[in-house]
Amino acid sequence: MVELSELQQERLKHKPQLPAILKNKFSLIKPKTGKKTGSKSDEKKLQEIFKNTFGKPIITFIKGKNNNINKNPINVGVVLSGGQAAGGHNVICGIFDALKKANKKSKLIGFLGGPSGIIENKLKELTKDIIDKYRNTGGFDMIGSGRTKIETEEQFEKTKINVIKNKIDALVIIGGDDSNTNAALLAEYFAKEKMNTQVIGIPKTIDGDLKNEEIETSFGFDTAVKIYSELTGNICRDVLSAKKYWHFIRLMGRSASHITLEVALQTNPNIALIGEEVLQNNWTLSKIVDYICDAIIKRAELGKNYGVILVPEGLIEFIPEFKELIKNLNEIMAKNEDELNKIENTKDKKEFIYSKLNESLVNLMKSLPDEISSQLILDRDPHGNVVVSQIETEKLLIEMVQKKLKEMKKQGIYKGKFAAISHFFGYEGRCGFPSNFDANYTYALGYNAVLLILNGFTSYMSAIKNLTEQPKKWNAGGIPLTMMMNIERRKGEDKPVIKKALVDLNAKPFKVFSALRDELKIEDKYISPGPIQYFGPAKIVDRITKTLKYERSKR
């Protein structure tokens, strides 16, 4: 028996709050259907791909007698897909409790190790004894996760065989934008094959880039940014104490800078680089270095040879020159995969790639430190793209800032001292105990997914809305997965993908930050938000992120 900490023992007792609508008997909750939906873009192409599932209406659950709800026992499969996010276990607990409320004979089947568990038929029934050990805990260790994509004909066929073999009536996929794209493709495949198996998605990603008007936030974001903000706040306090280092902190968030923006709003660092702004303003790497050096020089003139800089892990992909380089590298690597695999020497691989790039991109790649240029070609994600998270952008910036300041010191422009320390806050935020918000939100998402299943819906994402209010005032329903899609280039081919939500530079969260940053560059107005609190005054334990608060505040 694994020994539990005092906190874990107390968290196991926590009873997540549900939206008032979900507390009713299921036979007294009915779905209200809205208008037919379209897609983010590329509607004609998506209609062709999703012939059986495109254009479904948005669903809202309301009070009312429901004679059509399924009251028979059902088998529901659940799979965790992609990176961990706090609250994943509570989604599963919510599914389990709702299933047993509907019919005690219903079963919850966990597929092990992510989507590969479906393909390889690795599974186990999740009983009360198992479920109760994981309530309100972090991590995905109840059933494990994985990044396998179900995309080949053989994989789809094996999925079909195993779903039928195990008599799975519905499949709940807990994941991010790619995982839920996979959910949509599975739902379409099942419909095409005349199978009755339903598919429901759950919005998960700490990056915060799976959201829209109907999905207000993805789960795990709240917990992750509170963990990163605590760590960053601690660094800010250390900076004020030591007053001799510049701390460059790289934060999770490859394709969007939501985490960096939220941590900046919570801690008031001297500089927070927002990738979306860099892209919009066409900042080169040199421009970013100049921007940082300007702040360092101005602070040095005031005797402040210290500071805190936040860097999103995907920054390099937002710099136009690098965006173009990475786009070309992705295409080249996809088209020449077999040939590149035969080349063992990294130097020779680079020479091969140089022969495929135009002169300006070759010069850019050669100007980078050898370690960075190697990372650009050696590490690829499952989709064949550059693994931006592995590129130590904060160290690249430190090296270039040091070089620039050295030149400026020779010219007499800079007279301060520059010593830098680098950090990467990433995995620290993925498996923490879910905040009260995430514990409640994820439980409601899982519980609501069962209601969608019992009402016969498929190719939907579980949606809980009105999140700035207390949980009892939250709304429940579902939105079509295809509604969030567009066509993107993956491995040299056009693919349907749920569109990532980037930081909106015209929205309130960024505007609040941008109004403060000139002052923060010079003044020391650091905030230390401290650790996540689970017990105590509501204003502390139930606080939501500033991003959610500002985005959903009444205008």
How confident is the model over 356-403, as pLDDT tens digits? 999 999 999 998 888 888 888 876 666 566 677 778 899 999 999 999
- Radius of gyration for the chain, computed over Cα atoms and rounded to the nearest angstrom: 25
Q: How confident is the model at residue 555 (pLDDT cuts 50, 70, 90)?
A: very low
**Tens digit of pLDDT for each residue in 42-70?**
999 999 999 999 999 999 999 999 999 99
Mean pLDDT of 468-484: 97
Tell me how many degrees the CA angle 91-94-100 measures, rounded to the nearest 5. 140
**Tens digit of pLDDT for each residue in 309-333?**
999 999 988 999 888 998 899 889 8
pLDDT at 1: 46
Per-residue CA distances from 310 to 248, 269, 273, 313, 374 (Å): 6, 7, 6, 10, 24
pLDDT at 4: 87
pLDDT at 361: 93
Mean pLDDT of 203-215: 96
Mean pLDDT of 289-311: 97
User: 360 or 334: whose pLDDT is higher?
Assistant: 360
Which are the catalytic amino acids? 207
Q: Please answer whether residues 249 and 423 qualify as being in contact, where contact means their C-beta atoms are separated by less than 8 angstroms.
A: yes
**Tens digit of pLDDT for each residue in 255-289?**
899 999 999 999 999 999 999 999 999 999 999 99
**How far is residue 183's CA from residue 178's CA, in Å, rounded to a whole number?**
9
**Tens digit of pLDDT for each residue in 79-128?**
999 999 999 999 999 999 999 999 999 999 999 999 999 999 999 999 99
Location of structure tokens 């985005």: 551
pLDDT at 448: 98
* Lowest model confidence (mean pLDDT) among 220-224, 285-289, 386-390, 498-502: 386-390
**Tens digit of pLDDT for each residue in 147-196?**
999 999 999 999 999 999 999 999 999 999 999 999 999 999 999 999 99
**How far is residue 67's CA from residue 30's CA, in Å, rounded to a whole number?**
9
pLDDT at 2: 67
pLDDT at 493: 85
Q: What is the mean pLDDT of the chain?
A: 95
- Domains of the chain in start order, with CATH, are 39-58+74-220+434-490 (3.40.50.450), 222-314+391-429+500-555 (3.40.50.460), 318-389 (1.10.10.480)
pLDDT at 383: 58
What pTM, to 2 d.p., does this model score?
0.94
Mean pLDDT of 200-222: 97
Q: Which amino acid is at 295?
A: A
Sheet strands (E) in 258-392: 271-272, 307-312
Per-position b or e across 421-446, b if 16+ CB within 10 A of its CB:
ebbbbbeebbbbbbbbbbbbbbbbbb
Q: How confident is the model at residue 518 (pLDDT cuts 50, 70, 90)?
A: very high
Of residues 94, 446, 483, 516, the one with CA closest to residue 265: 516
**How far is residue 180's CA from residue 200's CA, in Å, rounded to a whole number?**
9
Of residues 212, 172, 218, the one with CA closest to residue 452: 172
pLDDT at 326: 86
pLDDT at 327: 87
**How far is residue 92's CA from residue 144's CA, in Å, rounded to a whole number?**
12
User: 489 or 39: whose pLDDT is higher?
Assistant: 39
